[in-house]
C-alpha cells in the first residue's frame, strides 16, 4: 500500500502531471492563458505520429507474436461491450436519460490516447517494456463503442440515427488513420527508420506531452467551470467507478491473453480511459440530443485527471502485484 | 455597375456537421458557398471557444448567396440538417455582381 | 419555411476588449453571439494584420442576431464599450429561423 | 442611438489578390475595410480548403462599410480587380454608428 | 539496372516517402485527417530556414569556389529557358491552350524546394556531399520562369499582364527571402552558429520533413480527387517526360560547370522539379485565365510524387554512372 | 572599450541577432514573408515554459538564498517606480500628451521577456551563471508598471479607468501564469524533471529563439514602416536614454542586493527592457486614448533592437567592469 502511495506520489510530481495541473488551475482561476487551436492540433498530430511509429518499430523488432491477433480481437470485443457495462452502471448510479447515458457509455468504451501515452511514459520511466502493438489495439478500440451506444439507444426505442456514411467516417477518422498509418510506417522502416527520425519523435516527446497536457488542463478546467450543476454526484461517482471496474476487466483479459506486465497495464489503461476527442464529435452527429456538457465533463473533467494522477500508478501496482512482476 | 437581387444565407453550425450541411446545400442546387471560421460564442447551450481544441469542436459559419427564388427550398434543406442540432440561421437581402453565377 | 424578422449586429472591435463587449451584450439580454476572427484591416488608426502577432493584438468581429425591439438597448450597451475605442458597428435587417431562440 | 444608412460590401476573393483589392479600395476612397479568413468553400471552379496549405492559397473575405453614395464608384473599382478572377461580390443595406467615420 | 532498382526500393521504404504515401492514401480514401494551415506553414518556414542555414554554413566552411558564380548563372539561365522547352513539349503532347500551357511551363522552369530537400536527405543518407550553395541556386531558380511564361503568352498575342509590382513581388517572395536570408546567416555565423542551433535545425530535420510530406500527400491526394477528368493522358505523359528531359539538361550543365556528384544530382533535381507553392500564387495574379486545376494536378499530383519516389534515385544512379562517382 | 566593441561585435553576428535583422529587413523591403499567428504564439508559449522551467530547476538545485526575496521586492519596487522616471524623461524630452507619456512609461516599467531570454542566452554562451529566480523577478515586474501609469494619469486629472477586474486580469495574464507556473514545475521536479524534458526545452531552445526573433523583426519592421512621422526625434532619444538610465539603476540595485555578475546583468536587462506584448493589450483597455503607434514604435521599434544588439553586451561589460567579475 505504501508502495502504491509512493508510486502515485512520484507520478504526481512529474512535469507531465504538473503541467496538466497548471492548465487546470489557470483555467479555474480564469487566466487568459490559451494555446492556439492550430498548435494544439499540431501537437496531437505529433503525438499520434510518434506513438504509432514507435509501436510499429517495436513490432518490427520483436516480431509478431501470437498474442497480437488475440489482443486486437480482445480490444474490439472490449470496445463493443464496455459501453453496455457503462450504460448499466449509469442507469443504476445516475438519473441520466437513455440518450445521455448511451452517449456517456460510448466515451467509456472508446479510449483516450493521451492517457495511453502518459501510461507508456510512466512505464518507460520505470524501464518496464510493453508490447509495441498495444498502440494498434488502441486504434482498434476507438470506434466500436460508438456503434454499441447507438444500438443501446435503438433498443430503447430512441431515435439514434445510423446515418449513411457514419461508419465510414468513424473508421477513417483522422486520428485512427494517422495512428495506424504511422504504425505501419514504423513497422516497415524498423530500427533504421527510427534512427532516422528519433531526434524528432523520441527525444522531445515528453516535453511536447507536457505542453499538450497543459492544454488538456486548460480545456478540462474551462469545461468544469462551464458545467457547474450539470453533473450529479452519482455521475461523478460513475466517472471514477467505471475506470476502476474497466481496469479490472482489462487486467483479466490481459492476463488471459498472456501479455507482459507492461502490456497488461496498457490494456487496463485502454479499458479505463474515456475518449474526449473523437467520440464527442461523433456524438454530435449521431446523438445530437445528448448533452455534450455531461459527457465532456465526465470523461475530460473527471476520468481523465483521475487516470492521469491516481489511476495509472494504481493499475501498475495492481498489475505488478497480481503477476508478481 | 449592374447588380442583381439575391439572398445571403448565413448558418452557424457545429463543425462536425459541416460536411452534411454543405452536401445538403449542394443537393439543394446552390452554385457555391463559403465556410468561415468562428472563434467562439455563446448561446442557449452555453459558452464555447476554439482555443486549444484538438477535435472537431466548435462552430463554423457557412455563407451562401442565392437567387431569391431558391430561398424556400434552401431553407428546407438547411433546416433538415440543423433541426436537431445547435446552430442559428439568418437571411439578409443582398445584391450581387455577375448574376449568372448564382 | 417560417422566418422571423431580426436584426444582425456586427461589431469589429479590438481583441483586448472582446470580453468586455460580450459581457455587455449578455447584460443587455442577448441570447447569443458569435465571435469571428479578423485577419487584418485598415481604418483611421492605420493598417494592421494578425500575422506573427503574439499578444492579444488585432480585432475580432462579434456577430449578434436579436429581435428588432431589442436593438436600441443593445446599441447603447455596445456604444458604452466601443465609445473610446477603435471599432465599427453595423446593423442589417435579417430574418431568422426558430424565432423562439432570440 | 442615432444610426446612419450605409452599404456593406463583402468580396470573397483569391488570397493572392488581396493586396491588389485593398489597394483598389483605398484608391476608390474607402475609409476602412476588414479582411476575414475563409476556411474553404465551393463554386464554379470547384471545392477548396485551407487545410494544410503552405502557399497563399484559398480565398479571403474583404468587408467594407461605405456611405451609399460611394457604392457605384466602389463597385467599379472592385470589378476591375475581380473581373478575370475567381470571386463573388455582395452588397447589403446596413446602418452604422458614428457616420463621420465612413 | 538492378542497382537502380534496389536504390529506388531503399528510397521507397524511407519514413519520408511512406509519410507522403500515407497522406495520399488518406486523402484518396476521404479520411478527415488534416494538418492545420498554420502548422503546415510553420513547418515550411522551419524547413526553408534550416536548409538555407545549412547551405550557408557549408559555403562558409568550404569557401567559395569558382563554380559558385557559374552555378548561379546556370540556374538563372535554366529557369528562364526550361519553360520554353516545357511549352514546346506541352504543345506537342497536349491540347492545352496557349495560356494553360504557358502557366504549366512556368511551374516546370521553377523548382520544388521540398523535392530538393528530399534529395539532400537521400544524399546525406548515402554520405554523398554536395555544394552548400546549391540552395542559393534553388533560390535563384524560383522566379525567372514566371517571366518566361508571361513572355510566351505575350508572344502569342495573349493577355498576360506584366502588372506593376509583380517582379518586385516575385523577388521578395517570402520563401526566397527566408531561404536566402538563412543562407547568409549560416554563411556569416558558420560552424559556430551551426553548433548553437544544430539541435534545432539538424537533429529533428528529417522528422519534420516526414510530417511535412504527410501534408503534401494530403494536399496532392485531395487535388487528384478534385481533378478527375481535368488532365489528359498526354498531360500526364508530359509531367513525367519533362522532369526526365530537364534532369538530363541539368546533368549536362552540372558536369560542364564541374559540380561534384552530389551537386550534379541536386542540379538535376532542381531542373526536374516543378513549383507548386510560389508559382501557383503568381499565376493567379499574372495569368488568371489559366486553369489552376491543370497546373496543380501536373506539378503536385504527378511530377512531385514521381520525383520523390523514382526520380531522385534514378538521377542519382545516372549521375554516379556518368561521372564514375 | 575595444573589449566592449568586440563583445558587441561577437553578439551581433549570432544567429539570433541576424534572424531579427532578417525579419526587420524583410518587412522594410515589403516582402510578404510572415509567420502565422498561431506559430508565433506557439513559440512564445514554448519560450516562456522553457525559461520558467529552467529557472525553477536552478532554484531547486542551488537552493533559495536570502537574496531571493530581496530580488523579488526590488523588482516590484522598480516596476512601480521606473514609470515615474520614464514619465519625467518623456515630459522633458518630448511633446507627448500626459496620456501618451503615461502609456509609454508603463511599457518601460514593465519588461520584455524576449530581451531577458536573449541576455540569458548571451550569458550561457559566455559560461556566466546567474540566479535561476531572476525569471521570477521578471514575472513580478510585468504588471505593476501599468498601475503606476494609471496613477500618473489620474494625478494629472486624466480619465484613466481603473476598470473592475483589470488588476485581476493583469495578475492572471497568460504569460505571467505560464512563466510562474513553469517555474514552480521546474522547482518541484528539479534536475530529474529537467532530465526528462531537456531534449525539448534545452537543446532546441536557441533555434526556436531564432525563428521567434525573425518574427519579432518582421513585426518591428512592419511597425516602423507604418509609423513614419508618428514619433519625434526626442521620443527616439528617450527610447535609448531610458534603457541606459534604467540599466544603471538595475546595476545599483543588483549590487546592493548582492546578486552575482550574471544576476546583475539580468537585473539591468529587466530594468532596461520595455514590454511590447502584455502592456500594449492592457493599455488598449485602460488608456484607450493613448496612441498605440507611439508606444509600440518606441518599445518594439527602437528599444528592443537597441537592447538586443548594443544594450546587452554593454550592460554585461559594465557589470563585469564594476564588479571586477
Ligand atoms: N443570437 C445569436 N447571434 C449570433 N450567434 C448566435 C446567436 N445565438 C447563438 N449563436 C451561435 O450559435 C451557437 C449555438 O447556439 P445555441 O444553439 O443557442 O447554443 C452559439 O455558441 C453562437 O456561436
Ligand atoms: N469602413 C470600414 N469597413 C469595414 N471595416 C472597417 C471600416 N473601418 C474600419 N474598419 C475596421 O475597424 C478597424 C478599426 O478602424 P478605425 O477605428 O477606423 O481605425 C479597421 O482596422 C478595420 O479592421
Ligand atoms: N453562391 C456563393 N455563396 C457564397 N460563396 C460563394 C458562392 N459562390 C462562390 N463562392 C465562394 O467563392 C469561391 C469562388 O467561387 P467560383 O468563382 O464560383 O469558383 C468559392 O470557392 C466560394 O468560396
Ligand atoms: Na475505455
Ligand atoms: Na524545374
Ligand atoms: Na523595464
pLDDT, tens digit, 9 for 90 and up, residues A78-96 = 999 999 999 999 999 999 9
- Work out the average pLDDT over A58-85: 94
Tell me what pLDDT residue E227 has: 84
How many angstroms separate the Cα of F219 from the Cα of each of C87, D30, E122, F24, F300? 22, 25, 37, 8, 8
Question: How many other CB atoms are there within 10 angstroms of residue F149's CB atom?
Answer: 32
E98 assigned to some structural domain? yes
- DSSP-derived letter for residue B54 is -
- Work out the average pLDDT over B57-70: 95
Confidence of residue A11 (pLDDT cuts 50, 70, 90): confident
B64 has which bridge partners?
Answer: B9
Confidence of residue C50 (pLDDT cuts 50, 70, 90): very high
Confidence of residue A161 (pLDDT cuts 50, 70, 90): low
Q: Search chain A and give the residue with CA nearest F180.
A: A22
Yes or no: say if C59 and D54 are a contact pair by the CB < 8 Å rule.
Answer: no
- Work out the average pLDDT over E30-58: 97
Tell me what pLDDT residue E160 has: 59
Q: Search chain A and give the residue with CA nearest F192.
A: A14
Mutation pick from D6, D61, D97 vs chain C, by most beta carbons of C within 10 Å, is: D97
**Cβ pair C41:D32 closer than 8 A:** yes
> How many whole angstroms separate alpha carbon F104 and alpha carbon F123?
29
* Residues of chain E contacting residue F26, judged by C-beta atoms under 8 Å apart: 172, 174, 177-178, 181
pLDDT tens digit sequence for F256-269 = 999 999 999 999 99
Tell me which of D63 and B98 has the higher pLDDT.
D63
Joined grid coordinates for residue D86: 475567381
Our answer on whether E and C touch (3+ beta-carbon pairs < 8 Å) is no
> How many whole angstroms separate alpha carbon B90 and alpha carbon A299?
34
Q: How far is CA C71 from the centre of its chain?
A: 12
F184 assigned to some structural domain? yes
C91 has which bridge partners?
Answer: C9, D95
Residue A4 has pLDDT above 80, yes or no: no
- Work out the average pLDDT over A164-192: 93
Mutate which of B8, B11, B33, B100 for ligand 3? The one with the most ligand atoms within 8 Å of its CB, which is B33
DSSP-assigned letters across all residues of F270-294 = HHH---SSHHHHHHHHH-TTS-HHH
Total number of domains constituting chain A? 1
F325 assigned to some structural domain? no
Joined grid coordinates for residue A154: 435503438
D35 lines ligand 3 (CB under 6 A): no
Q: What are the helix (H) ranges across F141-173?
A: 144-155, 166-171
Q: Which atom of ligand 3 is nearest to the CA of D86?
A: 17
C41 has which bridge partners?
Answer: C48, D34
> How many whole angstroms separate alpha carbon F271 and alpha carbon F247?
6
Confidence of residue B56 (pLDDT cuts 50, 70, 90): confident
> How many whole angstroms separate alpha carbon A299 and alpha carbon A105?
10
Yes or no: say if A93 and A185 are a contact pair by the CB < 8 Å rule.
Answer: no
pLDDT tens digit sequence for F76-97 = 999 999 999 999 999 999 999 9
> How many whole angstroms separate alpha carbon E18 and alpha carbon A264?
31
Q: Search chain D and give the residue with CA nearest E296.
A: D57
Tell me what pLDDT residue D78 has: 95
Joined grid coordinates for residue A315: 493499475
> How many whole angstroms separate alpha carbon E68 and alpha carbon F84?
57
- Using left for φ > 0, alpha for ψ between -120 and 50, and beta otherwise, residue F127 falls in left
Q: How far apart are the first and last CA of chain B?
A: 17
Question: Which burial class, exposed, middle or buried, applies to F212 when counting CB atoms under 10 A from its CB (0-12, 13-18, 19+)?
Answer: buried
E217 assigned to some structural domain? yes
Q: What are the helix (H) ranges across E202-226?
A: 205-226
SS3 state of residue A98: helix
Joined grid coordinates for residue F72: 523579488
Tell me what pLDDT residue F160 has: 59
Yes or no: say if E310 and E8 are a contact pair by the CB < 8 Å rule.
Answer: yes
C102 lines ligand 1 (CB under 6 A): yes
Q: Write the residue in B42, B72, B89 that is nearest to C33 by C-beta.
A: B42
Confidence of residue A280 (pLDDT cuts 50, 70, 90): very high
Confidence of residue C13 (pLDDT cuts 50, 70, 90): very high
Tell me what pLDDT residue E100 has: 96
C64 lines ligand 1 (CB under 6 A): yes
Q: How far apart are the first and last CA of chain D?
A: 17
Q: Which atom of ligand 2 is nearest to the CA of D35?
A: 23
Q: Search chain C and give the residue with CA nearest D19.
A: C41
- Work out the average pLDDT over E244-263: 97
**Cβ pair F32:E193 closer than 8 A:** no
Yes or no: say if E319 and E270 are a contact pair by the CB < 8 Å rule.
Answer: no
Tell me what pLDDT residue F173 has: 93
> How many whole angstroms separate alpha carbon B88 and alpha carbon B75?
12
Q: Search chain D and give the residue with CA nearest E289.
A: D84
E325 assigned to some structural domain? no
Residue B44 to chain C, least CA–CA distance (Å): 7
> How many whole angstroms separate alpha carbon A114 and alpha carbon D54?
28
Q: Which atom of ligand 1 is nearest to the CA of B12?
A: 12
Confidence of residue A8 (pLDDT cuts 50, 70, 90): confident
Residue F7 has pLDDT above 80, yes or no: no
E291-308 in b/e form (b: 16+ CB < 10 A) is bbbbbbbbbbbbbbbbbb
- Work out the average pLDDT over A4-28: 89
**Domain range holding A62?**
2-320
Joined grid coordinates for residue B66: 442565392
Question: Which burial class, exposed, middle or buried, applies to F169 when counting CB atoms under 10 A from its CB (0-12, 13-18, 19+)?
Answer: buried
Confidence of residue A159 (pLDDT cuts 50, 70, 90): low
DSSP-assigned letters across all residues of D45-74 = TEEEE-TT--SS-SEEEEEEEE-GGGHHHH
* Residues of chain D contacting residue B22, judged by C-beta atoms under 8 Å apart: 42
Q: Write the residue in C52, C57, C84 that is nearest to F34 by C-beta.
A: C52
Yes or no: say if A290 and A96 are a contact pair by the CB < 8 Å rule.
Answer: no
Question: How many other CB atoms are there within 10 angstroms of residue E38's CB atom?
Answer: 23
**Cβ pair D42:B60 closer than 8 A:** no
How many angstroms separate the Cα of E82 from the Cα of each of B50, C69, F323? 47, 67, 65
CA of residue A49 to ligand 6 center, whole Å:
43
Confidence of residue E2 (pLDDT cuts 50, 70, 90): confident
Joined grid coordinates for residue A114: 493521451
Whole-number CA gyration radius for chain E: 19
Joined grid coordinates for residue C89: 458597428
Joined grid coordinates for residue A294: 455531461
Residue F159 has pLDDT above 70, yes or no: no
- Work out the average pLDDT over A104-109: 98
Q: How far is CA F90 from the centre of its chain?
A: 19
Q: Write the residue in F46, F188, F200 that is nearest to A206 by C-beta.
A: F200
Q: Write the residue in F49, F174, F204 that is nearest to A211 by C-beta.
A: F49
Tell me what pLDDT residue A63 has: 82
C45 lines ligand 2 (CB under 6 A): yes
**Cβ pair E284:D85 closer than 8 A:** yes
- Work out the average pLDDT over E179-201: 97
Strands C4-14 and B87-96: unpaired
Kindly give, in sequence order, each residue whose CB lies less than 8 Å from that of residue D42, ignoring residues fewer than 6 positions away. B22, B26, B32, B33, D48
Joined grid coordinates for residue E112: 520544388
Residue with cell 505520429: A49
A325 assigned to some structural domain? no
Mutation pick from E15, E25, E212, E222 vs chain A, by most beta carbons of A within 10 Å, is: E15
In this structure, which ligand is nearest to the CA of D7?
Answer: 2
* Residues of chain B contacting residue D78, judged by C-beta atoms under 8 Å apart: 97
Give the up-direction half-sphere exposure of residue D85: CA atoms within 13 A in the CB hemisphere: 27
- Closest to B9 in 3D by CA, of F106, C37, C96: C96
Confidence of residue E186 (pLDDT cuts 50, 70, 90): very high
> How many whole angstroms separate alpha carbon B34 and alpha carbon D47?
10
CATH code where residue A264 lies? 1.20.1530.20
> How many whole angstroms separate alpha carbon A16 and alpha carbon A119?
11
Amino acid at each position: 500500500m505504501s508502495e502504491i502511495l509512493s508510486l502515485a506520489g512520484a507520478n504526481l510530481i512529474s512535469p507531465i502531471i504538473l503541467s496538466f495541473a497548471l492548465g487546470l488551475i489557470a483555467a479555474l482561476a480564469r487566466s487568459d492563458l490559451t494555446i492556439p487551436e492550430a498548435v494544439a492540433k499540431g501537437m496531437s498530430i505529433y503525438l499520434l505520429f510518434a506513438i504509432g511509429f514507435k509501436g510499429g518499430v517495436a513490432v518490427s523488432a520483436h516480431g509478431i507474436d501470437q498474442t497480437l491477433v488475440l489482443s486486437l480481437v480482445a480490444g474490439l470485443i472490449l470496445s463493443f461491450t464496455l459501453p453496455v457495462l457503462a450504460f448499466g452502471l449509469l442507469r443504476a448510479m445516475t438519473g441520466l436519460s437513455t440518450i445521455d447515458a448511451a452517449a456517456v457509455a460510448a466515451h467509456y468504451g472508446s479510449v483516450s490516447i493521451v492517457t495511453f501515452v502518459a501510461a507508456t511514459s510512466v512505464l518507460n520511466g520505470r524501464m518496464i517494456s510493453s508490447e509495441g502493438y498495444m498502440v494498434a489495439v488502441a486504434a482498434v478500440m476507438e470506434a466500436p463503442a460508438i456503434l454499441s451506444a447507438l444500438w443501446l439507444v435503438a433498443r430503447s426505442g430512441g431515435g439514434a440515427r445510423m446515418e449513411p456514411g457514419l461508419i465510414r467516417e468513424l473508421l477513417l477518422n483522422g486520428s485512427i488513420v494517422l495512428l495506424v498509418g504511422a504504425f505501419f510506417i514504423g513497422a516497415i522502416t524498423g530500427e533504421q527508420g527510427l534512427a532516422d527520425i528519433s531526434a524528432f519523435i523520441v527525444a522531445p516527446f515528453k516535453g511536447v506531452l507536457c505542453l499538450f497536457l497543459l492544454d488538456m488542463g486548460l480545456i478540462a478546467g474551462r469545461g468544469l467551470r462551464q458545467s457547474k450543476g450539470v453533473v450529479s454526484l452519482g455521475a461523478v461517482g460513475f466517472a471514477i467507478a467505471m475506470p476502476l471496474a474497466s481496469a479490472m476487466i482489462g487486467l483479466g483479459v490481459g492476463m488471459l491473453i498472456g501479455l507482459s506486465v507492461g502490456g497488461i497495464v496498457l490494456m487496463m489503461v485502454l479499458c479505463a480511459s474515456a475518449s474526449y476527442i473523437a467520440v464527442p464529435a461523433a456524438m454530435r452527429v449521431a446523438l445530437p440530443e445528448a448533452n455534450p456538457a455531461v459527457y465532456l465533463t465526465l470523461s475530460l473533467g473527471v476520468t481523465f485527471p483521475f487516470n492521469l494522477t491516481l489511476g495509472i500508478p494504481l493499475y501498475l501496482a495492481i498489475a505488478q502485484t497480481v503477476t508478481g512482476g | 455597375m449592374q447588380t442583381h437581387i439575391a439572398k445571403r444565407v448565413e448558418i452557424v453550425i457545429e463543425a462536425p456537421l459541416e460536411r452534411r450541411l454543405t452536401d445538403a446545400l449542394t443537393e439543394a442546387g446552390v452554385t457555391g458557398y463559403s465556410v468561415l471560421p468562428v472563434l467562439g460564442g455563446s448561446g442557449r447551450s452555453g459558452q464555447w471557444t476554439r482555443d486549444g481544441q484538438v477535435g472537431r469542436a466548435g462552430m463554423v459559419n457557412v455563407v451562401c448567396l442565392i437567387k431569391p427564388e431558391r430561398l424556400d427550398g434552401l431553407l428546407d434543406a438547411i433546416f433538415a440538417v440543423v433541426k436537431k442540432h445547435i446552430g442559428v440561421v439568418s437571411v439578409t437581402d443582398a445584391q450581387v455582381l455577375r448574376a449568372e453565377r448564382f
